[in-house]
Amino acid sequence: TDHSSVLQDVRQGMIPAHIYNDKEIFELEKERLFSRSWLFVAHESEVPDAGDYVVRRVLEDSFIISRDEKGEIRALFNMCLHRGMQVCRAEMGNASHFRCPYHGWSYRNDGRIVGLPFHKEAFGGEEGFRKKGQTLLPAPSLATYNGLIFISMDPDAEPLEDFLGDFKFYLDYYTKQSADGIELRGPQRWRVKANWKIGAENFAGDMYHTPQTHTSVVEIGLFREPKAEKRKDGTTYWAGNGGGTTYKLPEGSLEDRLRYVGYPDEMIGRMKEQWTQQQLDVVGKDGFMVSAASLFPNMSFVHNWPRVEEGSDEVLPFISIRMWQPISENETEVLSWFAVDKNASEEYKALSYKAYLMCFGSGGMFEQDDVENWVSLTNTAAGSMARRLLLNGRMGLLEDGQNVVEPLTAEEYSGPGSTRIGYSEYNQRELLFRWADHLERPVQAAAQLHVGIDP
């Protein structure tokens, strides 16, 4: 099928409803998007010591993300070189070697083969089958930023830092609140019968759903002030390949404003050492604090500060990182991590974790509200009528394409990218533009076959 009209509509901010539940589109996403984009798989703090590993999937491909004996991070395709059994079946652990359960080939945690039962009798020993140079297949590309480990199925992927671009500026608020960065807990994982794009779009810029979808969270007083009020004074920003939303903070100094969000003074002290003047100015001078965000294609972030107790004026910030891992055109596995500054006190970490669990994660109040919409949307997108419907994704644009609200000037806003006050769908469109760019670009011929590579 020719999808050019779909992509053309998306570029106008009109969204063919069926893209949220369409087998053919999903096949195209696998072939042209997930085959070459940078994808988050784990954080270095999940594998702190030599031998630590976690197993993560990218679509159907399973990878062992390990730290080898030299301390290097590896992403090894979790398939035995002999007859293809999954080598590592645990989700996480510590191992110097992985032994295949089928016939017992074993591999070091950097991927190299070490043991092969009956090597001499079955393969004629080293002359018959040379073990040296045989390794589990590494992910074609691997790179890290602030400890976040990304892989790409494209051996010629652009450098990760170029891909992140100016989004790095914002990434630091979530993942670098002190020199030692964050540590992760989790992930919690669960599956929802919803298309993967919906979550990514929602976290990227949907301030507009908060007053409606999350009414009950506001009603029970989880937040200090009516949430709708806060949201329309906030901004959406887009920079590099990611974007998100901010809250407007009350007047005050940098310290006042960080305290308002609930950060203790010792953490504020480290932020002041860690962040650039420009990063501090967005908070202290301009008065904006990052909230949810998404990095193309399917990674998201949350930063929020609910009340500690009912009726209390004290709030507590938490950070969460998540992946919308596609299972099919109508199912997504959500991986949701709690993230916290490594140098925070144990007491702060425990309380922040509680704040996270209350709001997000498999039982979080926001999560429950959101997912019902996404599942229902996905269901409705499967039918024949959805194929006749162009959804309106043009919020923030007038009919003639002019902006309802112009981007903030350098005077008003110190951060990079394009930033606007109030409700709009610029960010959702930015995600879909990138999606369309991938879908219309054919992939190169399949990469050559490998029979193990010397690491």
Residues near Fe ion (CB under 5 A) are 370
Cα gap 332→352, rounded to integer Å:
27
Q: Between 68 and 370, whose beta carbon lies closer to Fe ion?
A: 370
CB 373, min distance to Fe ion, A: 8
**Binding to ligand FES by residue 83, rule CB under 6 A?**
yes
Per-residue contact flags (x/-) with ligand FES for residues 40 to 79, judged by CB under 6 A: ----------------------------------------
Task: Answer with the entry of Fe ion, ligand FES, none that 198 interacts with (C-beta below 5 to 8 A by kind).
Answer: none
Residues comprising the chain, all counted: 455
Q: Give the separation between CA 188 and CA 334, rounded to whole angstroms.
A: 8
Q: Which is nearer to ligand FES, 104 or 133 (CB)?
A: 104
* Nearest CA-CA partner of 360 in 347, 351, 369: 369
* Residue 383: DSSP 8-state: S
How far is 90 from 100, CA to CA, in rounded Å?
A: 12
Other residues' Cβ atoms within 10 Å of the Cβ of residue 334: 23
Q: Which does 100 bind (CB under 5 to 8 A by kind): ligand FES, Fe ion, none?
A: ligand FES
Among 93, 104, 125, 226, binds ligand FES (CB under 6 A): 104
Give the side-chain half-sphere CA count within 13 A for 402: 3
- Supply the minimum distance, in Å, between the C-beta of residue 203 and Fe ion: 8
User: Could you say whether residue 100 binds ligand FES (CB under 6 A)?
Assistant: yes
Q: Which of 103, 248, 272, 342 binds ligand FES (CB under 6 A)?
A: 103
CA 152/CA 159 separation, integer angstroms? 10
Question: For ligand FES, which residue of 40, 105, 169, 174 counts as binding (CB under 6 A)?
Answer: 105
Task: Tell me, by CB under 6 A, how many residues bind ligand FES.
Answer: 10
Q: Among Fe ion, ligand FES, none, what binds residue 267 when CB lies within 5 to 8 Å by partner kind?
A: none
Q: Using the rule CB under 6 A, which residue among 28, 51, 62, 82 binds ligand FES?
A: 82
Q: How far is the CB of 105 from ligand FES (least distance, A)?
A: 4
Q: How far apart are the first and last CA of the chain?
A: 41
440: its two tokens: 């219309």
Spatial contact of 304 and 317, defined as CB atoms under 8 Å apart:
yes
Q: From residue 309, how far is each of 204, 214, 230, 368, 439 by CA, in Å?
A: 29, 19, 20, 21, 47
**Nearer Cβ to ligand FES, position 133 or 155?**
133
370 binds, among Fe ion, ligand FES, none (CB under 5 to 8 A by kind): Fe ion
Choice between 263 and 360, CB closer to Fe ion? 360
Q: Is 268 in the site for ligand FES (CB under 6 A)?
A: no
Q: Please report whether residue 98 would count as binding ligand FES according to CB under 6 A.
A: no
Min CB(100)–ligand FES separation in Å: 3
Contacted entry of Fe ion, ligand FES, none for residue 82, CB cut-off 5 to 8 Å set by kind: ligand FES
- Residue 351 makes contact with ligand FES by CB under 6 A: no
Query: Closest separation between CB of residue 162 and ligand FES, Å?
Result: 38
Q: DSSP for 277-302?
A: HHHHHHHHTS-EEEEEEEETTTEEEE
Residue 104 touches which member of Fe ion, ligand FES, none, C-beta under 5-8 Å by kind: ligand FES
Residue 57 — φ and ψ, nearest 5°? -110, 150
Site string for ligand FES, 394-423 (x = CB under 6 A): ------------------------------
Cα–Cα distance measured from residue 171 to residue 417, given in angstroms and rounded to the nearest whole number: 13
Tell me the C-alpha distance between 417 and 409, whole Å: 11
Q: Point out which span in 98-106, 151-159, 248-256, 440-448 binds ligand FES (CB under 6 A).
A: 98-106
Identify whether the C-beta of residue 442 lies closer than 8 Å to the C-beta of residue 32.
yes
Please choose which of ligand FES, Fe ion, none residue 103 contacts, taking the beta carbon within 5 to 8 angstroms, the exact cut-off set by kind: ligand FES
Candidates 75, 80, 164, 375: give the one binding ligand FES (CB under 6 A).
80
Task: Between 87 and 239, name the residue whose CB sits nearer to ligand FES.
Answer: 87
What's the min distance (Å) between Cβ of 87 and ligand FES?
7
Minimum distance from residue 91 beta carbon to ligand FES (Å): 19
**102 contact choice in ligand FES, Fe ion, none (CB below 5 to 8 Å, kind-dependent):** ligand FES
Could you tell me the strand order of the sheet in which 92-94 lies? 73-77, 61-67, 52-58, 92-94
DSSP letter at 65 equals: E
Please, are residues 447 and 140 in contact by the beta-carbon 8 Å criterion? yes
| Residues found near ligand FES in the complex (CB under 6 A) | 80, 82-85, 100, 102-105
